Each structure stands twice: as structure tokens, then as C-alpha cells.
Amino acid sequence: MLLFVFLLPFCGKAKENKLAVADTREDLDRQIDEIIKSIEKESLDKTSPVSGKRVFRRDLKDILDTKSLRVLMTRESVLSNLPVNITPEAYEYALLSNLARRLKVNLVIVYMDKFEDLVPALFDGRGDIIAANITVTEKRKKELAFTLPIASVTEQIVTYSQNTSVKKLADLVCKNIIIEKGTCYKENLDALAAKIPSMRVLNAPEGIDTEELLRRVALRKIEFTVADSNYIDAFHGYTSSIKTVYEFPEKRDIAWAVRPNSPSLLKILDAFLKSELPQYRRKNFKGDLPAIKKFGLLRVLTRNNPSCYFIHRGILMGFEYEVVKEFAKRNGLQIVIIVPPKWSDLIPWLLEGKGDIVAASMTVTEKRKAIKGISFSQPYMEVSQKVVSGKKDKTLNSLKDLNGRTVVVRKNSSYWETMKKLRDDGMNFKLIAAPDEVETYEIIQGVSEGKYDLTVADDNILNAELLHNSGIKGNFDVGAPDKYAWVLRSEDVKLKQAVDDFFKKEYKKSFLNVLYNKYFKSVKTAVKTKPVFSDNAGFAITPFDNIIKRYSRVYDFHWCLVASQIYQESQFNPNIKAWDGGMGLMQLMPATASMMGCKNAFSPDENIQAGLKYMHSIRTKLDVNIAPRDKLCFTLASYNGGYGHLLDARRLAIDMQLDPDKWHANVEKALSLLSKPEYSKKARYGYCASPIVISYVNTIILRYYQYMEELERVQKK
């Protein structure tokens, strides 16, 4: 119920509102001006016709006077997804941003924890619009005023893919259907239950939303739930673990909702949607910077890898992602990340109008410059190509040492052009093409594992891998230094000028240098504080043992485990700040610190309390029947890599016929595959630095056992 959709065709009742012919944007501006000029303070109903409670009065004039448009939404999850295409959420935000810009007001998103809280919050005056995939029903129309329909959906009963118990509707007899409280699913289900003996409709516990119910169905923790078709389609985009067993025949409209005493606001919204929705339904389109600014979104084609774009501890990150986000910010745009299936799709998708720029650490080569219809921006980084070998290889000192060796690179990469030229010039080595969807970092891992003999990588990518892979080394450079640039369509002259101006201003300046160091040079540093065991004091590990013990009791973790985790995170240095923004003893991410109420992340007391509170919040999401040790491993994996990657690993474990409730040799094994593109591209949260996460969990657990053994030894003395 929380996904916003604008790409679905209009159907059902939506056809009554003929939106096929949109007004021009100039017409829309005139309509908005006319509506604003005609605003009057109407004396309208002050109570809800359904609840009888007083309704807060705030119409368009109040919004304009306060210069704030407050939009009520629900939190789908405390963690972000990894968008790899234009998502309905991105369209939703762009629409709302454009509306606020046209009204010359600030857009304020007000999040509600539960769907059922949205309408009360609207009537209490905490927001002006509900934009949360809300379904239009006859019951709701008595209480709310709805805009023109945004989309139409059907409601579907789903179960896990392996469930064969329901082949026809009558098989739902004696089944329990669990739904999110406050949704309109109950209306259809109650009517269905009247026809099917003993079928029960149950509300999920507080805090469990439709997204979480779908996850639990996929993990076979519950058997049946209900969701809108658009939500299920999105879920199918990254897993085949659920299936539909029944689809209700009636189409339902999705719309925005306002208070019934806000007629001027409703007029504005309808005029705006009538004009804008046709623009947002286009999947492919081309346009220069002025057209992009009208659209409000900059569509960025890139790759999901450690250099460009990935999710870490629930935060979207990546060198290219941060650079393009800054460029968009300076031009008043929101970015949408699009990740094509293969490297070779990037430029074709740009030319087809599926994106506006390619920002993917792409080297400027003569072959690429010859592609008709594209142009390269001002370069923003200079790199050198290095031959990469195993750590113990002592035979590579110069180009002639490549003779008789085997080099593996992607055929569509700049490395292939470089190595092919060397071979054409008479060098005698074997050149093998890696699959097009394989990333450079994965080929480097293959060299480390002995799967490949040699490869070639840009020095920045190699440096990033060297931070956590001790099985490789860079040797000599091959070819002349290269430059990275973004790729644009040749006709988008104004966009290219804006990009060029941006890079001319920032080239070799602090902004790019800081990001370069963050992703390609920095390592987490900490004071080398060793655990201290003192017989006189009984048993001590850190200077912060008393704080650790206090909050470990509050959140029910063994204090030796927490000490082990803190050593892994910061080596007991309370003042450390890591490359990814992690702060203090437990390396709290800024968003996590804020969410846990930590005002000073470098205070040992506040940091440990917030870290353990967050650990506890992760653990409570996990199923109660998971064994304590496995639950602890899952919690640590989520803390380090992000809860989303754990969800992906548990779903993958089911597909691999492994146990999604066990860590060792099961979820651990599935998680290890999420660093490989053939698996990460199918995962909702994309690429995961799996070796780091797995090592994090296992090292902390091992050290925890060592601390426990020492504690027992001291206690016996």
C-alpha cells in the first residue's frame, strides 16, 4: 500500500477523467494563477462526516502564506532500497517538487509510522496532502476529497512460490490471510470470507507493514497476505519467491487525498495532475537541460559497483553517485539512478532516451569518441591502467614479462583496447574476454582466488580493492594515462555546457579530491588499543567497560560481545570518523545516530547506548524462532552491511535450498554471492561487500568467545 505508481495505464473509473490531452505548461501556470486569485475563505464543514471529529482548516491560501506544502507519507522501511530504474517513488517526489516549485513554497515530507495514522494526521493538521498509494473507496470518499486518479491497481492474495496447497479459490478454506491494519484490503477479504468457510482475515502486529508481510511470505514465515498489483510487480522485480493465488476482479483507483474543506487546494492539484501526468508516463524521451528542468528529474545511467553506486548500511553511496547528486543539486534537479543489465547497454540506452547522462567511471577512448550521437564531458579524473596479478607473483617487471601469460578483461572496456593494441604490436600473450556483465572488481577477485592469471584495472579501482583484498598487487602501467568523463547525447548542448562548467570549476579542487580519497584512498584508522586483562581489577577489556555493561544489560547483549564489536569497529577509539561517515566507538552512521536519538556520536556513553539500541531494533525484526546464535550473526551482519543485504541473502538462501534461519554454511554462503554481479543484479539491495561483512561477523564472534574464555579463567582464579 505504500508504493507510488505513475507508469500504469489508466483504466476502470480512471477513464471517466479524460487526461489523454494535457494542457500546456503555460496553460497550467495561468490556471494556477487564476485559482490563487480567486481564493476566498469559505465557511465549510468543520467536522468529519465519518468520525464526527473537528477537521483542521487549512486551504491553499494558508499554504501560500506559510510557504510550506506538507505531504503525509508512510515509512516503507527504515532502510533505503537500491533504485536501479525510475521508480514510482522518484516520480512521486519529482511531481511534488514541481508542484511546490510552481506554488513557490517549500516541500515538507511528514512521515507516519503506520498507514492507519495518515487520515488522523491529515485531519489534525499535521499535513496538507496524503500521497501514500492510497486507494479510492466509497467509504473513504465520504471522509476525504480525492484528486484525479494517478493509477489503477488490483488487489491480489499472494503466497510463497513453493506453496501448492491453493490451486483454486475454494482451497482458501480454513486459511489465515494476514494484512496490514488500516488498509482497504479488508473490505474485499471480508466479502470473500463470507463465501469461503473458516477463511480468516487477521491484522498484522503493530509496526508490520505490507512490505514486511511480503518479505515474511517470501521467507515462508506466514502463508498468505494481500497487496496491490503494483506493489507485487515491484517485489517480483528482485525475487520470484512469491506468487499470486487470487486476483480480485475490480480495478481500484490510486489518488492523492486532501481534507474536504480544502477546495482550492484540490483544484490546484487536479489542474497540476491533468497537465503533468502525461509527461510522466513516457518511458523514453530526449531533451536538453531546459526540458530536464521542467521534468524535474535527471536520469543517470551507471553501474552498481563499489566505484559508482551501491548501498552501505542502508545509505546510498558511490563516487559517481555523490558527484552527480551534487551536480543535480546545483541545477535544481532530483536524480534518478538507472542501472542497465550490462556495461555495453549504457551508451545505447542513452541514445534511446532511457537516460540523460552516463556517469559510470567511463574512460574516453578513440573508439568511443567515434560513436555517432554522443559526446564526452570535460574530464574529471585521470587514471592509469595497471597489470594486476596475485600477491606472490614476482615475475612481472616490464611489458615483456606479459609474454606467455593470460589476461582477462571485458571486451567492451578500455582495457581491451589497450591490450589488443599491445598484442597487435607483436606481444605474445593470450587475451580472453570476460562476460560483459562482470565488473572489474570481480575480475580482480578472480585473480586473487587464482581463477584468472592476470587482468588490467584503473589504478583507482585497484586501490579501492587493495584496501580489503591482500591477495593481489598492482604491477607496471600499460598504455598512456586515461581520463574519465560523463557521456551525453550530442544534441544536448546546454546540458553538456552545464556539466563542463561544473567539472571545470571542481577539477582538482577540494570537492572531488575529498570524494576521491573517500572511495579510493582512505582506510579506517584507529588507535591500536589492545584488550587489557587485569587480574587486580577482576577482568577488564576496555576503558569503557562500565558503560558497555550498563547498556548491555538494558538491551540484553553480553557485554563481552559488545566489547568485541567495539574493538572491531573502532579499536576503542571514541574519536574516530570513518570514510563512510561512521562515528565513534560503534561507528554510528549519521542517519542511525539521528534515528536513535544520539546527539553526540563521539560521546562514549551516547554512542554505546545508541549503537546497542540500534542492534536491538535489528534483532527485534528477526523471527522469534531463529536460534540465538544465528540471530546474533544476522544482527551483526545487518549492523555492518545493512539489513537489506541480509534480506537479500535470506531470500537467496531459499532459492538455493538452504536454511534462511541459519548463518553458518547457509545464509553466510548466500551472502557471499551478493558480491557477484550475476546475483547482485537480481537482488533488491544490489551489490554487497560480502567478504567484509562475513569477516566482520565471524571475527567478532571468535573474539567474543576468546573474551568469554578469559573471563571464565579470571573468575576461576
Q: What is the mean predicted confidence (pLDDT) over 321-340?
A: 91
**pLDDT at position 151:** 80
Find the catalytic residue in 439, 442, 506, 569.
Answer: 569
* Total-model pTM: 0.73
Confidence of residue 237 (pLDDT cuts 50, 70, 90): low
**pLDDT at position 92:** 74
Confidence of residue 281 (pLDDT cuts 50, 70, 90): low
**pLDDT at position 45:** 45
DSSP state of 456: E
Beta pairing partners, 252: 153
**pLDDT at position 86:** 64
Select the more confidently predicted residue: 678 or 374.
374
Helices 263-280 & 88-103, crossing angle to 10 degrees? 130
Residue 518 CB-density burial (10 A; 0-12 exposed, 13-18 middle, 19+ buried): middle
Select the more confidently predicted residue: 274 or 145.
145
The SS3 assignment for 87 reads: coil
The residue whose grid cell reads 480525492 is 146
Beta pairing partners, 107: 69
Characterize 302-318 residue by residue with b for buried, 16 or more Cβ atoms within 10 angstroms of its Cβ, and e for exposed: bbbbbbbbbbbbbbbbb
**pLDDT at position 470:** 80
Beta pairing partners, 178: 202, 225
Residue 178 has pLDDT above 60, yes or no: yes
Q: Which residue type occupies 492?
A: D
How far is the CA of 215 from the CAs of 135, 154, 189, 211, 650, in angstroms?
22, 20, 20, 6, 10
Residue 144 has pLDDT above 60, yes or no: yes
Residues 6+ apart with CB under 8 A from 324: 298, 300, 302, 335, 357, 359, 486
How far is the CA of 408 from the CAs of 156, 426, 439, 482, 693, in angstroms?
47, 18, 12, 19, 27
> 567 and 531 in contact (C-beta within 8 Å)?
yes
Residue 272 has pLDDT above 50, yes or no: yes
> 411 and 503 in contact (C-beta within 8 Å)?
no
Residue 138 has pLDDT above 80, yes or no: yes
DSSP state of 416: H
What is the full DSSP assignment across 472-504? EEEEEEEEEEEEEEEEEETT-HHHHHHHHHHHH
Identify the sign of the CA torsion 479, 482, 487, 493: negative
Confidence of residue 153 (pLDDT cuts 50, 70, 90): confident
Cell of 271: 489542474
Select the more confidently predicted residue: 7 or 184.
184
* Integer Cα distance of 24 and 8 in angstroms: 22
**pLDDT at position 553:** 96
Quote the mean pLDDT of the chain: 85
DSSP state of 253: E
Residue 322 has pLDDT above 60, yes or no: yes
| Lowest-confidence region among 46-60, 369-383, 546-560 | 46-60
**pLDDT at position 535:** 44
Residue 595 has pLDDT above 80, yes or no: yes
Residue 578 has pLDDT above 90, yes or no: no
Q: Which residue type occupies 99?
A: L
The candidate with the shortest Cα–Cα distance to 244, out of 253, 254, 252, 235, is: 235
For residue 388, count other CB atoms closer than 10 A to its CB: 27
How far is Cα of residue 13 from the mean position of the Cα atoms in its chain?
34
Cell of 397: 617487471
Q: What is the mean predicted confidence (pLDDT) over 483-510?
A: 94
The candidate with the shortest Cα–Cα distance to 390, out of 453, 464, 432, 433, is: 453
The residue whose grid cell reads 494563477 is 33
* Integer Cα distance of 578 and 598 in angstroms: 17
Q: Which residue type occupies 224?
A: F
| Lowest-confidence region among 160-174, 279-293, 312-326, 470-484 | 279-293
For residue 592, count other CB atoms closer than 10 A to its CB: 25
Residue 599 has pLDDT above 80, yes or no: yes
Residue 551 has pLDDT above 70, yes or no: yes
**pLDDT at position 17:** 33
Residue 527 CB-density burial (10 A; 0-12 exposed, 13-18 middle, 19+ buried): exposed
What is the full DSSP assignment across 611-648? HHHHHHHHHHHS-TTS-HHHHHHHHHHHHHH-HHHHHH
* Integer Cα distance of 371 and 651 in angstroms: 41
Task: Please write the tens of the pLDDT for every residue from 402-448.
Answer: 999 999 999 989 999 999 999 999 999 999 999 888 889 889 989 99
**pLDDT at position 520:** 85
Domains, the chain, ordered by start: 12-150+254-280 (3.40.190.10), 155-250 (3.40.190.10), 381-489 (3.40.190.10), 545-716 (1.10.530.10)
Q: Is 223 a catalytic residue?
A: no
**pLDDT at position 201:** 92
DSSP strand pairing (406-410 vs 334-338): unpaired
